[in-house]
A and B are shown apart, each in its own frame.
Chain A
Amino acid sequence: MSLPSDETRKRLTELARPVCTRIAETRRRERTRRALSSLGPWFLFMPLLRWGLVFLGFDTGPLWLWFLLTPTVPVGLLFAARWLGESRQASEREALALLDDRFGLADRLTAAAEFLGRSRRTGYMEAAIADASHTIAKVAAEELPLDSRPLRFGGRNFVLLALGFAFLLVPTYTLRLSSRPAPKGASPTTAVAEGEPGRATPLLPKPSGAKPDEAPSRPAMTPPVAGESEGAAKEGVPPDDEEAAPRRSNSSSGRSSQTRSSGGRSASQGEASRQSQPSKSGERPKLSGRKKDPRPAKPEERPRSERRDEKESGSTSGRGSGRGSAKSPTSSPWASKDQVTSRDELEEDEDEEVEDDLDESKARGGVQPHLRSRKPPVNRDLQIGFGSGRPNPMANGRGGAGPPKKQRGVAQLVLGVHFPDHISGKPNPGMSKITQDRIEPQAEKAAHVSATERTSRSAPVGTVAHPRLMPRMQFLVAKFFLSRFPSKPSE
């Protein structure tokens, strides 16, 4: 028999209350444990703070106070963390979720608690609440296991606390050394050197490049500026060489920068010459590490500027790619390949273009039609009038190469391989590529061979090549035959 809703709600609240307390306690312990594990470095905080204050020249007060503060501050933090853990109480929902998880109730309690809070409940919700009411008694009888791991201060914390105390002592000792009064008329260096000969080196570092007898005489002449001496010490250069050192460094840096800039300049020169510098042929820088230029010597015969002029003027001179004449079918590269006029162009076609096309065909790797032997693409312009009522002389109703056929379900669709854009009249976008010549099939002349019957060989084969045997094998073979056919003793 299931309990009424109010009773179920009350029992759920009662069930959750001690769990909330336990969750809070567990959280507090967990927070304390985490704080303890990260407490160690805080033991060094106060000693390091004192160090900082001492080196900045502040009065740090009595040492016993710092000894007191060194462990007190971290422990205070620990208590603060514990207090924060206490301040955040677990909700009833969290407690029920924990019970569901611990006892494998498949969210029966949380679902019931949620459905009890709803004003409109369906039959399934009522059934779920009733279902949960049966489990409440079962769960109430069980004891929720609590995290019973002990809290440990940890050896690491002890070590760091001891280290903190040691740190407190170090600046005191060093200060005592540095505050010892120097004898009158002697420089601090000499005082230290006289007082504690063994300690002279760490207190005043000698410049590495300086001679030992030069060092004491230096402060007596001119007291060096702090920045200078520091710079000198850093660079390991004696103060006398200070003028030379920057010069050297400047020159070296200058050299490196020069090298860099010269490199850059050469690169830029190369770039410029590659583009369109109509300079003398002797001044041309060599382009190393680049593919062979397809037009190395031709510009002498025919300057590039001339060709550029031609291009700009709209004349394609049979080379195609005229910008303003794309609409005309005759101006396409298909047509222009046949319109060879000048001798220069003919030569270029035969030499450069073929080379260029061969390279491109290698790069493309695909089979392309031989464009040179193609006729210009026909115009598919089917308009009735050509301008003022005249028929279009170019229109013959047939089209050139169509767009690439749409394919479905091929690998490209899945893998996203790039499909080239289509430009009407060209097999590929951009310049037409010739990758393979079309070869007309030709009949080959060969002697007629009539079929004859093959019989067994009647003549000797002749010398048959055989591999040379190793001496051991030779001996074995000879032994075999000798044993098989023993030689008769000569009579």
Chain B
Amino acid sequence: MEATGADVARKDAELFRSVHGRVKSEVQRFIVGQESVIDATLTGLFAGGHILLEGVPGLGKTMLVRSIGEAVHLDFSRIQFTPDMMPADIQGTNVLVETEGGGHELQFQQGPLVAHLILADEINRATPRTQSALLEAMQEHQISVGNRTITLEEPYCVMATQNPVEQEGTYPLPEAQLDRFLMKVVVGYPELGDYGAIVDRTTGNEEPEIRRVSSGEEIIKLRQVVRGVPVPDRAKNYAIHLVVATQPGSEFAPKTVNDHVALGASPRGVQGLMLAGKVKALLAGRFAVAVDDVKAVAHDVLRHRVLINFHGQADGVTADDILDSVLQHVAIPS
């Protein structure tokens, strides 16, 4: 009996849930608690976006990305961003090497950006010059150095971490850079019950080992599965209204947005809502994106795309407050 399109879709969705579950359980062997953070990070990975993890030191941000890299068996590269880092340090540069005949020649030595999964640790410590070297890599998945253009292999994912507290000696990410991240995940403190397990796992002799439960090819396939999920008009219109509502002076903007927001989300915000919503729908066992999926990912996808103005900063308004009011204000289209 020949499988219909619906059967194939069901099988793909089942595979997606299975791989997602395997990777998540492997990561959870290493990371205690933080389920929402793990879910959001994996959502970004499967949706084909880049993730910005923000949290105070010691919450396991770096460990999370490293464990995901090990679980999906991707070419992993860690870059510790420092203020004296230059674009050539991460992109690669021509170095003078000695040839066999005793001569010298320039040879291109690629930087750590050429990998599958990049951990850009403390990305805001690098200067904007170096930060902007990531722009091309993140958007076009390629690096241009001199007259050489290196196409980065898929799956390509940048997971950056930053510390929101220590702002001295750091360079806030420019808007263009922030917009390229699909999600900004805020890592909070673990639950009270998780502390015991954290202590047991990290201070004993036994170190948990992460198995390779997926591969790059599988991730690429699952990304195609995600992109295949259809979006009904209701969810699409709702996502569009949400994004427009974050723009001050727009038709759907609530008063809070007009008062406290300097810059709203761009069309990339809608793209992000759709992609992340598709992952949510698949994980929920559905074959189409619902309004609830858009709502569920709205904070993570839009939080870094809303720029608070001086009035808002003075009043202590955060991007999450703005998004709360937007979600409350925007009606679901029928």
Residues of A within 8 A of B (CB): 2, 91, 93-94, 97, 101, 106-108, 110-111, 114-115, 121-131, 408-409, 414
Contacts and interface: CB of A to CB of B under 8 A. Distances in A.
Given A106-B284, A131-B287, A122 B228 contact: yes
A127 B291 contact: no
A388 to B, nearest CB: 47
A126 B5 contact: yes
A108 B230 CA distance: 12
Contacts of B334: 91, 93-94, 97
B332 to A, nearest CB: 8
B221 interface: no
A111 B9 contact: no
A128 B8 contact: no
Nearest to A100: B290
A123 B6 contact: yes
B128 A124 contact: no
A110 B232 contact: yes
Given A97-B334, A106-B286, A107-B291, A124 B127 contact: no
Contacts of A94: 334
B234 A127 contact: no
A124 B224 CA distance: 12
Contact of A124 (B171, B228, B233, B234): B228
B79 interface: no
B141 interface: no
Contact of A126 (B4, B172, B233, B289): B4
A216 B10 CA distance: 102
16 contacts: A97-B332, A107-B289, A107-B291, A110-B234, A111-B230, A114-B232, A114-B233, A124-B6, A124-B9, A124-B228, A124-B229, A126-B5, A127-B5, A127-B9, A127-B287, A408-B129
Contacts of B172: 414
Given A97-B334, A115-B232, A414-B172, A125 B287 contact: yes
B127 A409 contact: yes
B288 interface: yes
A414 B233 CA distance: 39
Interface in B267-297: 284, 286-293
A110, A121, A122, A123: residue with the most chain B Cβ atoms closer than 10 Å: A123
Contacts of B6: 2, 123-124, 126-127, 129-130
Nearest to A121: B5
Contact of B287 (A114, A124, A408): A124
B235 interface: yes
Given A122-B230, A124-B9, A127-B9, A107 B288 contact: yes
Size category, B interface: 20 to 34
A126 B228 CA distance: 12
Contacts of B232: 107, 110-111, 114-115
Interface string B1-33: 000111111100100000000000000000000
A84 B9 CA distance: 46
Nearest to B278: A124
Contacts of A126: 4-6, 9
A107 B230 contact: no
A344 B197 CA distance: 86
Contacts of B289: 107
Interface of B: 4-10, 13, 127-129, 171-172, 228-230, 232-235, 284, 286-293, 332, 334
Contacts of B171: 408-409
A236 to B, nearest CB: 47
Contacts of B5: 121-124, 126-127
A124 B5 CA distance: 7
Given A124-B228, A126-B9, A408-B129, A106 B233 contact: no
Contact of B288 (A91, A101, A125): A125
Nearest to B234: A110
Instruction: Give the 4 A-B CB pairs with smallest separation, nearest first.
Output: A123-B5, A123-B9, A126-B6, A107-B290
A97 B127 CA distance: 50
Contact of A106 (B7, B10, B230, B290): B290
B273 to A, nearest CB: 15
A126 B13 CA distance: 13
A126 B289 CA distance: 14
Contact of A408 (B7, B8, B128, B229): B128
A107 B293 CA distance: 10
A2, A101, A124, A409: residue with the most chain B Cβ atoms closer than 10 Å: A124
Contacts of A108: 286, 288, 290
A13 to B, nearest CB: 17
B8 A115 contact: no
B4 A128 contact: no
B225 to A, nearest CB: 9
A101 B238 CA distance: 14
A446 to B, nearest CB: 43
B227 to A, nearest CB: 10
Contacts of B235: 107, 111
Contacts of A106: 284, 286, 290-293
A110 B290 CA distance: 9
A408 B171 CA distance: 9
B231 to A, nearest CB: 9
A446 B234 CA distance: 89
A148 B230 CA distance: 38
B271 to A, nearest CB: 19
A409 B128 contact: yes
Contacts of B228: 122-124
A123 B4 CA distance: 7
B230 A125 contact: yes
A104 to B, nearest CB: 9
Contacts of A111: 230, 232, 234-235, 288, 290
A418 to B, nearest CB: 15
Given A126-B6, A408-B171, 14 more contacts: A93-B334, A94-B334, A106-B292, A106-B293, A107-B290, A108-B290, A111-B230, A122-B230, A123-B228, A126-B4, A127-B5, A127-B9, A128-B230, A131-B286
A106 B332 CA distance: 12
Contacts of A114: 232-234
A317 B8 CA distance: 92
A100 to B, nearest CB: 8
Contacts of B129: 408
Nearest to B238: A107
B128 A128 contact: no
Contacts of A110: 232, 234
Nearest to A94: B334
Nearest to B286: A106
A96 to B, nearest CB: 9
A97, A110, A408: residue with the most chain B Cβ atoms closer than 10 Å: A110
B234 A128 contact: no
Contacts of B9: 122-124, 126-127
Contacts of B287: 124-125, 127-128, 131
